[in-house]
Amino acid sequence: MQKQFTRKPLAAAIVMVLASPVVFGADPTPVPAAGETTLSDVEVRAGRPQDDYNKGVSSVGGKGGPTAVRDIPQSVTVINRAQLDAQGAASLSDALRTVPGITLGAAEGGQIGNNINLRGFTARTDIYLDGFRDRGQYYRDTFYLDSVEVLKGPSSMLFGRGSTGGVINQVSKQPTLTNKNEVSVTVGTDGYYRATADTNHALSDTSALRIELMGQEVSTTRDVMENKDYGMASSLRFGIGTPTELTFSALVQHNRDMPDYGFLAVNGHPLDVDKDKYYALTDDRTIQDVASLGARVEHKFSPTQTLRNQTQYSQYKTDVRETYPNSVGTLSGSTFTPLPTASTGNYTNLPLNQLYLRLASHDRVIEDESLYNQTDLTSKFDIGAVKHTVVTGLEIGRDDYENQTYARNNLPIISISDPAYLSTPSNSVTTTGNLAKTQATSIAAYVNDTVELDKQWKLVGGVRRDRYKADITNSINRNNTAGNTTLASADQTIYYTSLRAGVLYQPTDTQSYYISYGTSFNPSLEQLTLTTGQQNLDPEKNRSYEIGGKWDVLGGGLSLTSALFQIEKTNARSQVSTGVYTIDGDVRVNGIELGATGRLTSKWQVVAGYTYLDAEIVQASTLDGTQGKVPANTPRNSAMLWTTYNLSGQWETGGGVTYMSNRYASNTNVVSVGDYMHWDATVAYHRPKYDLRLNLLNLTDRRDFVAAIPSDGGRAVPSAGRTALMTATYKF
């Protein structure tokens, strides 16, 4: 049975690749796109090559739809399809790893899937899909994405709760009136196999269907690690180029992946062992099933007034069997003794070959559902010489979340220097733990006005009122007896008003300077997980100040950005005794961000960025012991450079580097994760009907740690070693 499942994703990939031309035809003749004017009112770089990294438009930053980046008074990073393909980014984590100011986490505290920090604050619940909150705990792929957008800074006026450091929005591919069919197959070192297909078919002069497919079996240089995934995304669009447009979309994805809790620390740093070692059990797995359905209707009453209504339903099911080392110690016979310095970084004079890891399990079955509806009315009008673009809206949503935990006992104790790769022992017994059930409802009304005073000055202002209600129940420890801190139930109702304000000065069409202010809030039940002792606290509050500039140089081919910012979280939760919290904490991040995206010449493209973060926990309780420390997973310096050069009409070459300075795995700062430098390269050969691309990842084969996790005193996940990926894409 296991053998049959192992072959399933690769078989699915092959079927997808072979079936797509049969189902959708191979007619390459484009249907005239009469009336198709998507983004025409904001596309400031019309006519740019399809492989251009710099499109100048983002769908985040303005509620009324796609907005020119120069008109958004915040820092925005857009990673479009051309850049994703050039860098060989197959997952959301791959795409975000090259964005300065973003750091990655991993399986932690009951949260799996993509765990992201943005400008020093968690963005775990701030991941969006086409503008809707995509809060499921799963590993996101890029096969159905047209771009990934990162809007930085508190933005609750636009998105509601959360968004302390910003939001990440995934933009899916949309049907167009031009027929297109592509099939890609990637083969790599260490057993990497992946296939995708993308087909777009015009059904009439005003309707089109698009389907994307993916299947992969991926192994890496990390011992035991293997992912087996497949998925399909589809969208059907009617009324293209007419006053009324209707779009239906669906995403189905299945993952069977190996969880990775990485390395524990000894002497204040991640284990100094080969990066390929694996410290868990070989029968661990994370099985995830994702289904997301969307519908959008947009009606233009006139050139100045548009009504849009969107609905999205998402269901996430996760079955997890995860094992991880929860302590470092010594072994005498069958007696394991944890090091007494665990809380301060496991400092010891013992060599690694005399130390062992005790394994524990973190098993659970999660069922998660979300239903959101959003209505926006965009109106453009003049009052005298002043132009207004006003977006008014209403957003409602409901989330239902269940988490049934399990525990396995009698798990092995393994050597650090020579870990045995074992499965769960036959004498291990699984016990059922707590069942947490959570429901949340939200409703919000908002208005945002972009005021154009003249050709040079614009004002942006918005206000939003949220009502967020959540409650949680637990199946065990219902009496909250002595020694137990799990509450029988907890509930919370939050009302919060979010603000957004900005001033833009644009003396020419190639310059834009701005000052902005924004707020956001974090309820204690925001993540729909147990927060004993916090359920009656007011939400954490966040505010941001940013001043920056955006310039288009070299004839508009290259965009330069810079920003100075401060984000401060007040009312930060701080533990004063067991199960008792207050909201007198304070976390502050001051920073600088620089960026460049576009073309130095017609053949030479570049993407570069640098972020400096001066982060501090300004105030915390004595029990927390974190006052004056640096927040977890927040490097002071991070930078990236990616560049490609078209040697001729066919050959392209390039590469880049991603750098991240030292960071701490937890707020206590006892475990330090060293700096990170990742070199990549690519060579591609382009023809009208096909493309060949070679990606070389981690060229220097460094032992870098790409993710830091606070649990068990602090742990870190190493990157894969040197990897080569060969991708062939056929177009028909």
- The pLDDT of residue 487: 65
Cα–Cα distance between 237 and 33 in angstroms, integer? 14
HSE-up of residue 708 (Cα within 13 Å, Cβ side): 33
> Residue 12 phi/psi, 5° resolution?
-60, -40
Identify which has the larger pLDDT, 109 or 500.
Answer: 500
- Of 471-485, 625-639, 705-719, the poorest mean pLDDT is in 471-485
> Residue 521 phi/psi, 5° resolution?
-145, 155
- The pLDDT of residue 28: 38
State in Å, rounded, how far the first CA of the chain is from the last one: 38
Q: What is the mean pLDDT of residues 449-469?
A: 96
Encode pLDDT of 213-253 as tens digits.
Answer: 999 999 989 899 899 999 999 999 999 999 999 999 999 99
581: confidence class by pLDDT, cuts 50, 70, 90: confident
Encode pLDDT of 247-300 as tens digits.
Answer: 999 999 999 999 888 899 999 999 999 999 999 999 999 999 999 999 999 999
Percent of the chain with pLDDT over 70: 89
For 382, the enclosing helix (H) or strand (E) is strand 363-383
Segment of 430-434, 525-529, 577-581, 591-595 carrying the highest mean pLDDT: 591-595
58 token code pair: 């983002």
Cα–Cα distance between 703 and 717 in angstroms, integer? 10
Is the predicted pLDDT of residue 31 greater than 80, yes or no? no
- The pLDDT of residue 579: 65
pTM higher than 0.75 = yes
Supply the range of the domain harboring residue 95.
Answer: 2-731
- The pLDDT of residue 617: 95
Is the predicted pLDDT of residue 696 greater than 80, yes or no? yes
- The pLDDT of residue 583: 84
- The pLDDT of residue 665: 92
- The pLDDT of residue 535: 59
Number of domains in the chain: 1
Is the predicted pLDDT of residue 680 greater than 60, yes or no? yes
Identify which has the larger pLDDT, 575 or 216.
Answer: 216
Encode pLDDT of 390-423 as tens digits.
Answer: 999 999 999 999 999 999 999 999 999 999 999 9
Encode pLDDT of 375-388 as tens digits.
Answer: 999 999 999 999 99
- Of 4-8, 392-396, 621-625, the poorest mean pLDDT is in 4-8
Q: What's the burial of 3, exposed, middle or buried (CB within 10 Å: 0-12/13-18/19+)?
A: exposed
- The pLDDT of residue 546: 97
112: confidence class by pLDDT, cuts 50, 70, 90: low
- Residues forming a β-bridge with 494: 468
- The pLDDT of residue 124: 82
- Of 5-9, 122-126, 157-161, 680-684, the poorest mean pLDDT is in 5-9
Cα–Cα distance between 502 and 85 in angstroms, integer? 34
CA distances (Å), origin 540, targets 117, 154, 490, 526: 17, 12, 18, 11
Q: H/E/C letters for each residue in 569-599?
A: EEEEEEEEECCEEEEEEEEEEEEEEEEEEEE
66: confidence class by pLDDT, cuts 50, 70, 90: confident
Is the predicted pLDDT of residue 19 greater than 70, yes or no? no
Cα angle, residue 368 at apex, residues 365 and 370 outer, rounded to 5°: 175
- The pLDDT of residue 440: 94
- Of 21-30, 146-155, 186-195, 710-719, the poorest mean pLDDT is in 21-30
Indicate which CATH number applies to the domain containing 470. Answer: 2.40.170.20
- Structural contact between residues 148 and 122, judged by C-beta atoms closer than 8 angstroms: no
- The pLDDT of residue 107: 52
- Of 240-254, 478-492, 495-509, 610-624, the poorest mean pLDDT is in 478-492
- The pLDDT of residue 34: 39
State the average pLDDT for the chain.
Answer: 88
Pairing of strands 127-129, 166-172: parallel
Cα angle, residue 585 at apex, residues 579 and 591 outer, rounded to 5°: 135
Encode pLDDT of 289-305 as tens digits.
Answer: 999 999 999 999 999 99
